[in-house]
């Protein structure tokens, strides 16, 4: 086959309309062979003889979109020195824009002798592994434009492509569980009705279906097992044509953008699917193990693992940093996504134990003209020492606020001494983020995420019920801060069911009325249950998928959630761009009157009342006439006033509305109990708020 030298950059396979340039990095290879595969997986080997700065490259004419390929790398097998080259393995291109197939449970994926892991045992993996695919980079984006929602206007909806669409009756069966299903008008109509401004998609980078799970009859559902950082996951494509997932993903983004909805990707750059030293040889391990993975000092046979998944990428390596940055830029520039949520983000910036704000990773992000301009969200913890790093990330970054989750859960289940911390979280968590120059946008507020109970299960189970995962209950979190409201799991007790409905509404109301950026997990607006399973990572079935067959109560919850979200979108007093001026532990209260905190008697909270361990009820005034920041056009913002009457106690409490200084006429905006008979109140009135109920009043401007 006639070939040309080609170019060392860009890395990966680049189709130009007449042929394809292939380029791959390996500093340890003694030879590299590009293998083109036909439909029967027969190989056409093409030796790569051109090398520039350890980048091997070749241009192959008449090779175009849809062509399957892989690499065979000759080089040292010496685990003691960290080298694991194995020419018998057909390797995935780390820069592959699409990947075809799934792993088969085969010993050929392993490079070692199971009896002696230090001994090379070559077996050809071509028919058991996945294959890289050349893609067509051309796509008609038409008039696509990024919605560009400000953080203060953002409501995030965490969604799973398959779980969101798999059972929806209006989505045609042939596109359920796919990017095309996610782009279907019925799904978009639901998102619009709900009022969210961004979908945060759980991992869509190509991931593997673990053979260990396959052996148990389970499968990887969540997708936190990436093997291709440029490739949309092929199982979410409605077409079986190699590479079709790229155009289908782009069409999904285009459809969501047309609906004014941003697309944020949950990305897993902290580890790969190759696992620990006993894992398969699929890509990076066989290409240049020591350049891509962090190995244990003094024992380079083993991988330094801060992720709990077997390996960690070597964040001090120029090749790793280049891989990550090239990937991020690709998804922004070519795939038009609007931001990223970084799984176990602390791992990406580890320097010894703590998150190093001066790490190369942060430097690269900060100075990059493309990546720095999109939404960047960190999951600020990992399993390493001092892995809980909430508040530890630098400017530009927002963070999943785990302290918000824990505090709000504690408050509504009636824990004592939670009021000062609750006030900090409601006011935007300035105690965590303001010292680094950040704004309320830094706090991604959530009560529920994919990892844990659903909202309905949070109020229905005291303990996890993960039997379906076949791990003997060893998996999943044990400290859930959940409360079953009086019975474990399903019950016919109407009093308990009523309390559960009220608690779900309490959590949603608190989330929407908190300063910061709210995030809702998909299906929580519908009362979705996982039957007490708080770790459905391997449950690709009805247990995890949204059930769209809604009863009256679920429909009512959807209407309630939509009302809440649209209320927030209509009222800037609930979503300030700047922190409140007062101290976080006093809920931002200051002489400016932006927010004020009262006892149920209508008196300002005194120091001793803040510290009362039994304080489980409070009244909060949101002053719509004291918003310090201007709007997008530089004009002063004026809004209605709100009174939040929050009662987390097990008994009804009488609240006395404050004097006329705060407003004469109040209208019911939200009642999580749903049993208020009056819609109008006056200053000084006594309002009885039922047990464990949030009651929100609105004072229209000027009344």
Q: Is there a common fold for 12-134 and 580-699?
A: yes
CA-CA distance, 493 to 233, in Å (whole number)?
44
CA-CA distance, 519 to 396, in Å (whole number)?
18
Is 128 in a helix, a strand, or coil?
coil
DSSP track, 523-585: TGGGT---TT-S--TT--STTTS------HHHHHHHHHHHHHHHHHHH-GGGS-SS--SS-GG
Beta bridge partners of 136: none
Of 323, 314, 310, 299, give the one whose Cα is nearest residue 82.
299
> Which token pair is 502?
């009220």
Q: Is 80 exceeded by the pLDDT of residue 660?
A: yes
- Specify the residue for token string 């799904």: 187
Q: Is 70 exceeded by the pLDDT of residue 143?
A: yes
Residue in 379, 399, 524, 589 annotated catalytic:
379
Overall CATH class of domain 580-699:
mainly beta
The CATH number of 12-134 is which of 3.40.50.300, 3.20.20.70, 2.60.40.10, 3.40.50.2000? 2.60.40.10
Residue-wise pLDDT tens digits, 11-28: 999 999 999 999 999 999
Q: Is 70 exceeded by the pLDDT of residue 471?
A: yes
Contact yes or no for 274/283 (Cβ under 8 A): yes
Q: Is 70 exceeded by the pLDDT of residue 382?
A: no
Q: CB count, 10 Å around CB of 240?
A: 8
Give mean pLDDT, residues 442-457: 98
The verdict on whether 343 is a catalytic residue reads yes
Q: Is the peptide bond before 484 cis (omega within 30 degrees of 0)?
A: no
pLDDT class of 593 with cuts at 50, 70, 90: very high
**Listed range (75-84, 237-246, 353-362) with the worst mean pLDDT:** 353-362
- Specify the residue for token string 């997986």: 41
pLDDT at 387: 52
CA-CA distance, 253 to 198, in Å (whole number)?
11
> Which token pair is 222?
């969540």
pLDDT class of 252 with cuts at 50, 70, 90: very high
Contact yes or no for 454/528 (Cβ under 8 A): yes
Of 131, 134, 127, 181, give the one whose Cα is nearest residue 159.
181
Higher local confidence (pLDDT), 305 or 519: 519
pLDDT at 356: 62
CA-CA distance, 439 to 449, in Å (whole number)?
23
Residue in 93, 158, 288, 343 annotated catalytic:
343
CA-CA distance, 409 to 658, in Å (whole number)?
28
The verdict on whether 675 is a catalytic residue reads no
Q: Is 60 exceeded by the pLDDT of residue 395?
A: yes
The most distant pair of C-alpha atoms in the chain lies apart, rounded to whole Å, by 89
Q: CB count, 10 Å around CB of 317?
A: 17
Residue-wise pLDDT tens digits, 121-137: 999 999 999 999 999 99
pLDDT at 351: 52
pTM of the model: 0.97
Strand bridging mode 653-656 / 693-699: unpaired
- Residue 196's φ and ψ, nearest 5 degrees, are -70, 155
pLDDT class of 354 with cuts at 50, 70, 90: low
The set of residues, in sequence order, having a beta carbon less than 8 Å from that of 340 and lying 6+ positions away, is 264, 265, 266, 267, 328, 331, 374, 375, 376, 377
Q: CB count, 10 Å around CB of 368?
A: 15
pLDDT at 677: 62
**Listed range (345-354, 660-669, 676-685) with the worst mean pLDDT:** 345-354
pLDDT at 701: 79
Q: Domain limits of the chain?
A: 12-134, 580-699
Q: Is 90 exceeded by the pLDDT of residue 9?
A: yes
Average pLDDT, the chain: 94
Helix (H) or strand (E) holding 653: strand 653-656
Q: Is 60 exceeded by the pLDDT of residue 588?
A: yes
């Amino acid at each position: 086959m006639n070939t040309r030298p080609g170019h060392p950059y860009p890395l990966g396979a680049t189709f130009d309309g007449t042929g394809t340039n292939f380029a791959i990095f390996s500093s340890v290879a003694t030879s590299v062979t590009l293998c083109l595969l036909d439909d029967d997986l027969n190989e056409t080997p093409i030796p790569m003889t051109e090398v520039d700065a350890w980048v091997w490259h070749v241009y192959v004419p008449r090779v175009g979109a849809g062509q399957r390929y892989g690499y065979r790398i000759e080089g040292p097998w010496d685990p003691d020195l960290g080298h694991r080259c194995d020419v018998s393995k057909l390797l995935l291109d780390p820069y592959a824009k699409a990947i075809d197939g799934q792993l088969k449970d085969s010993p050929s994926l392993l490079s070692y002798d199971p009896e002696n892991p230090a001994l090379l045992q070559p077996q050809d993996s071509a028919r058991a592994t996945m294959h890289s695919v050349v893609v067509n980079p051309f796509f008609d984006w038409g008039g696509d434009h990024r919605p560009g929602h400000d953080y203060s206007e953002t409501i995030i909806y965490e969604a799973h492509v398959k779980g969101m669409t798999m059972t929806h009756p209006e989505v045609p069966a042939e596109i359920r569980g796919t990017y095309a299903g996610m782009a279907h008008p019925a799904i978009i109509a639901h998102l619009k009705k709900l009022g969210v401004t961004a979908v945060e998609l759980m991992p869509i980078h190509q991931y593997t279906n673990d053979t260990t799970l396959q052996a148990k009859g389970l499968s990887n559902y969540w997708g936190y097992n990436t093997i291709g950082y440029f490739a949309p996951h092929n199982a979410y494509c409605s077409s079986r044509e190699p590479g079709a997932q790229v155009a289908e993903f782009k069409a999904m983004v285009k459809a969501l953008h047309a609906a004014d909805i941003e697309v944020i990707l949950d990305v897993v750059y902290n580890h790969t699917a190759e696992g620990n030293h006993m894992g398969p040889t699929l890509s990076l391990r066989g290409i240049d193990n020591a350049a891509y993975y962090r190995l244990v000092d003094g024992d380079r046979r083993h991988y330094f693992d801060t992720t709990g998944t077997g390996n960690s990428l070597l964040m001090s390596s120029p090749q790793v940093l280049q891989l990550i940055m090239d990937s991020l830029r690709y998804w922004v520039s070519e795939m038009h996504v609007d931001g990223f949520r970084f799984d176990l983000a602390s791992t990406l910036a580890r320097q010894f134990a703590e998150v190093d704000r001066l790490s190369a990773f942060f430097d690269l992000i900060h100075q990059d003209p493309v990546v720095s301009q999109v939404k960047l969200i960190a999951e600020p913890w990992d399993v390493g020492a001092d892995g809980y790093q909430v508040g530890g990330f630098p400017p530009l970054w927002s963070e999943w606020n785990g302290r918000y989750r824990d505090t709000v859960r504690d408050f509504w289940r009636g824990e004592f001494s939670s009021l000062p911390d609750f006030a900090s979280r409601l006011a935007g968590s300035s105690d965590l983020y303001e010292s680094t120059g950040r704004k309320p946008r830094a706090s991604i507020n959530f009560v529920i995420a994919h990892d844990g109970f659903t909202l309905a299960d949070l109020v229905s189970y005291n303990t996890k019920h993960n039997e379906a995962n076949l791990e003997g209950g060893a998996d999943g979190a044990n400290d859930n801060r959940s409360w079953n409201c009086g019975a474990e799991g399903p019950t016919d007790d109407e009093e308990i069911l009523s309390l559960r409905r009220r608690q779900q509404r309490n959590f949603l109301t608190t989330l929407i009325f908190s300063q910061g950026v709210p995030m809702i997990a998909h299906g929580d607006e519908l009362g979705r249950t996982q039957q007490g399973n708080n770790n459905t990572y391997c449950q690709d079935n009805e247990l995890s998928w949204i059930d769209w067959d809604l009863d009256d109560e679920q429909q009512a919850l959807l209407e309630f959630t939509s009302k809440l979200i649209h209320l927030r979108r209509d009222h800037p007093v609930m979503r300030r761009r700047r922190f409140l001026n007062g101290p976080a532990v006093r809920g931002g209260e200051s002489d400016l009157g932006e927010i004020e905190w009262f006892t149920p008697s209508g008196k300002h909270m005194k120091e001793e009342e803040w510290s009362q361990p039994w304080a489980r009820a409070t009244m909060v005034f949101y002053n719509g006439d004291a918003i310090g920041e201007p709007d997008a056009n530089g004009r002063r913002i004026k809004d209605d006033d709100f009174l939040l009457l929050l009662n987390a106690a097990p008994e009804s409490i009488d609240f006395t509305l404050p004097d006329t200084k705060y407003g004469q006429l109040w209208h019911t905006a939200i009642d999580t109990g749903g049993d208020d008979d009056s819609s109008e109140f006056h200053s000084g009135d006594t309002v009885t708020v039922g047990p464990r109920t949030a009651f929100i009043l609105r004072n229209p401007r000027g009344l």
